[in-house]
Structures are given as structure tokens and as C-alpha cells.
Amino acid sequence: MLALDHRGSIEKMIPASIPLEKHKETIIEIKKLLITSLASQYSGVLIDADYGIHAYDLAKTNPDVGSKPYLMCIEKTGYTDTDHERLTTLEYSVAQLKAMGAKGVKILLFFHPDARTANAQIEVAKKVFEDCKQQDLPFFLELLNYSFDDKPYDASLLVPRSVKMFLDQGIIADVFKLEFPGNANACQDVSHMLGATPWILLTKGATYDGFVAGLKVAIANGARGFLAGRSIWQDFAKLPQSEWEHFMNTTVRDRFSEICSIALG
């Protein structure tokens, strides 16, 4: 699946040469180009209500786009920083996203198992999980770990621990969207814990080559696919605007084809 729910992160990519009053239409155009260029390859697309839904509406005249479902993110962009700990705030309700046409709901939770905010984050997830069941929509739980001092952390320890904490609270998402757990053994641990529940890989803004390397290990050890974002398309920001469409129709399309072949075996 294609991840295009970015808001704050993509806003930072817009060149300084583009006037501020043009940023929204520029971001919508970028997302429309990506939605259209990859439509024949992805099984679904994750979008946001600020830019993504508008881009999808412009692109859906393409039959490949209109025939594919979209998920929507429920959280506000970013997080609230409380003494180096992170809290997620909901921006919409599940019912509101369903009314917008979403066929699934994703929540991003910045998470550390030892944070004082961990229980609060779990409660936010539990609410969305229960609301998704009431609205009969698939629930995608995206966990993104972090360190208290902004230094590198051991994902092979934090990712499996984080997943276990949510499972222990009875939060069994339809799909867990996880960062690369660091190594094959940790991937196997996650796969064993989740059993029949699928987990897929997020890109976390890594380089494309870095994401591919992690994806190969993850797929070989139980991951079921990916919801790929910045790693496949963020390099557009290094190019002149006149070259963006060509880049998305060539390099980005080739990259997506490659990671699909990895995921599908």
C-alpha cells in the first residue's frame, strides 16, 4: 500500500522558491501525481483530510485510482512533547472518516514502553480500536518508537516490547504497521506474537536502499507487506519542480514495483 498521509513532514519539503500561499495546492498536486502514477500497483492508499482527500478527488477520474480503497489517518500531525515524552491527539472520529469515504482507519502512536505516557497512548489506541469495531472499519495501528534523549535506540528491543503491551491490553489491530524491528530474530518475535494478525512495514523516512534492505529481512521473517511513504518518493524535493512528474512516473514507479516484488515473493 502507498502511504500519503504526510502533512508536517511534506510541508517541510516544499522549496523556498514556492510562495507560502501556493504550498497547499503544490502539496495536493504532488500527492495527486503519486496517487495517479502508482495506481496500477498499489492495493490501497493512505491519505489525510488536509491534502490527501483533495488529491484523491482530483485523481479518481483515473479508473485505477477510483477502483482502489483509501484509508485515512485519524490523528493530528506530529505529537505533543511532554518532558521528552510524546502524546498523540485525535483530530477526527472514526465516524467522521467513514463519512469521508475511508475504508479503514490508521492511527500513528509515538511509543516507548517505559514512558509515563505509555498508558495514555494505549488508551487512545483502545478508543479508536473500539470505535472501528462499532463502525465496521479495519483498524491499522502504527507504532513508532523513540528514545527519551533523541539518540539512536535498539528497535529489536523496543518494537517487540511495544507490540506485546498492546496485545496484553486486548488491542488486536486488523493490521500492525511497524518500523523495521532491527534484525531477523526480532521480526520473528513479532510474527510469533501476532500469529494470524498481519504486520506490515513503514518506511520511517529512511533512504530507499535502507528501506529495501529492511523489507527483505522483514518479509523473510513474517511481515506481510508494506505501507510505504517517504522512502520511495521524498527525493523529488532534490529536483527542480519541472522534473517532479517525470521522477514520479519513472523512478518512483520503478521503486514501487521493486518493493512489490519483494513483498509478493
pLDDT digit string, tens, across residues 149-208 = 888 899 999 999 999 999 999 999 999 999 999 999 999 999 999 999 999 999 999 999
* Amino acid 78: pLDDT: 86
Please state whether the predicted TM-score (pTM) of the whole model is above 0.85.
Answer: yes
Contact 31, 7 (CB under 8 A): no
C-alpha cell at 225: 507487506
Q: In this structure, what CATH number is given to the domain that contains residue 184?
A: 3.20.20.70
* Amino acid 83: pLDDT: 76
Contacts of 224 (CB under 8 A, 6+ apart): 198, 199, 200, 263
What average pLDDT does the segment 52-64 reach? 95
Beta strand 80-82 pairing with 85-87: antiparallel
Range of the domain at 156: 2-264
- Count up the domains in the chain and report the number: 1
